[in-house]
Amino acid sequence: MGITLIINLVVSWYENREGEKLKSTILVADARHTRSDVYVSIAVILGFIAIQMGFSIVDPIIAVIIAVLIAKMGIQIIKSSSSILLDTAPLDEETIRSIVSKVPEVKECHRIRSRGPPSHIFVDLHVTLESSSSLSKAYEVAHIVEDKLKSSIPEIEDVVVHVEGESDNF
Ligand SMILES: [Zn+2]
């Protein structure tokens, strides 16, 4: 039990650190799961000591505490993963707007949306150009916007840019 506890402490710390670094929901979730194993190990060791000392009532109490710990950890994991599944925007509109507005040809941008997990973000947005812009210019600007977003935020997987002229904003 003691060895398991030490191994789990190290695994949990490492998983959490790498999970944060790689922005991996699964790694962070499993780090929490491993940490719950640590608490369970501590509870079992304490329970074992108590039973050895003759307090047999401690056994069912520890079992309940373990169940509560596991449930609590499960709820935490569901909460953090469900925000991704429920399509909560991983990037806020202003962050995207401030990057896109640095492209000189872009007059304005709207309908900014982002979705997906923090490590694989999908962005779509409308950008307005001067009405006189040619089709080839529009394609060029769409690519510049896409490249600029991807290079500023490496977690962005793909960008869909809808280009429109100043007069036909919709
Ligand atoms: Zn539009």
- Average pLDDT along the chain, 170 residues, taken 10 residues at a time: 90 92 84 86 87 85 86 83 74 93 92 88 93 87 96 94 78
pLDDT, position 160: 96
Structure confidence at residue 139 (pLDDT) = 92
Residue 115 Cα to chain centre, angstroms: 11
Distance CA 129, CA 113 (A): 19
CA of 169 to the centre of ligand 1 (A): 5
pLDDT at residue 101, as a whole number: 93
What pLDDT is recorded for position 56? 81
- The domain 93-165 is placed in CATH, from the list 3.30.420.10, 3.30.70.1350, 3.20.20.70, 3.30.70.2190, at 3.30.70.1350
Residue 109 to residue 88: CA distance in whole angstroms: 21
d(CA 152, ligand 1 centre) in Å = 23
Give the per-residue pLDDT at 84. 67
CA distance 142 to 94: 19
d(CA 121, ligand 1 centre) in Å: 21
- Separation of 112 CA from ligand 1 center, angstroms? 10
Extents of the domains making up the chain: 2-85, 93-165
Please identify every residue whose CB atom is under 5 Å from ligand 1, which is an ion.
126
Diameter over CA atoms, the chain: 88
